[in-house]
Chains A and B, each alone.
Chain A
Amino acid sequence: AQTVTQSQPEMSVQEAETVTLSCTYDTSESNYYLFWYKQPPSRQMILVIRQEAYKQQNATENRFSVNFQKAAKSFSLKISDSQLGDTAMYFCAFMSGGSQGNLIFGKGTKLSVKP
Chain B
Amino acid sequence: DTAVSQTPKYLVTQMGNDKSIKCEQNLGHDTMYWYKQDSKKFLKIMFSYNNKELIINETVPNRFSPKSPDKAHLNLHINSLELGDSAVYFCASSPRGAGTGANVLTFGAGSRLTVL
Q: Which residues on A are within 8 Å of B, measured CB to CB?
A: 33, 35, 37, 39, 42-47, 50, 89, 91, 95, 100-103, 105, 107-108
Contact = CB atoms under 8 A, between A and B. Distances in A.
Interface of B: 31, 33, 35, 40-45, 48, 50, 55-56, 88, 90, 92, 94, 103-107, 109-110, 112
Contacts of B107: 37, 44-46
Contacts, number: 54
Contact of A101 (B41, B43, B48, B90): B48
Contacts of A42: 109
Q: Is the interface of B mostly helix, strand, loop or mixed?
A: strand
26 contacts: A35-B104, A43-B109, A43-B112, A44-B107, A44-B109, A44-B110, A45-B107, A45-B110, A47-B104, A47-B105, A50-B104, A100-B31, A100-B48, A100-B50, A101-B31, A101-B45, A101-B55, A101-B56, A101-B94, A102-B45, A102-B48, A103-B45, A105-B42, A107-B40, A107-B41, A107-B42
B113 to A, nearest CB: 13
Nearest to B100: A52
